[in-house]
Amino acid sequence: MDLQEFTHITLAVLEDQGAEAYAPTIIAGETVQVIQGIPEGMDHRAALQETAHRLGLEQADFYFGVRSGPGEVTTGFHTPACTRCQRISEMRQGFVVSDLEDCPWWTLGRGRDQ
């Protein structure tokens, strides 16, 4: 699997349930972790990174998806060397996928989370 494939899978989920119902998801190897029970008011991006940190994934390869704004989900592929991201935006007539040059809220592995 690559980031394009993961984003395509996430897009299928969003088309079925909508962006607002999407729960943060991590796929590391054969393990799929859907993060539930996030306290009200907690940013899902922070919950995702806290879970990845708790699972010891800073130095691992994994895919993630998380609501990153109204009608918006960010997908990514994290490696110890870099993190690549894409944004899925919910538009009036469907979803649009775009590559992100930078994902400023992603701090895992950048030294700020250790």
Domain residue ranges in the chain: 3-100
pTM of the model: 0.92
What pLDDT score does 109 carry? 78
Residue 32 has pLDDT above 80, yes or no: yes
Give Cβ neighbours of residue 46 (< 8 Å, ≥ 6 apart): none
Sign of the CA dihedral with 24 first, then 31, 60, and 83 last = negative
- Helices of type H across 40-102: 44-54
What pLDDT score does 47 carry? 97
Average pLDDT, integer, range 32-44: 95
Question: Could you read off the pLDDT of 49-92 as tens digits, one per residue?
Answer: 999 999 999 999 999 999 999 999 999 999 999 999 999 999 98
What's the whole-number average pLDDT of the chain? 93
CA–CA separation, 1 vs 6, rounded Å? 7
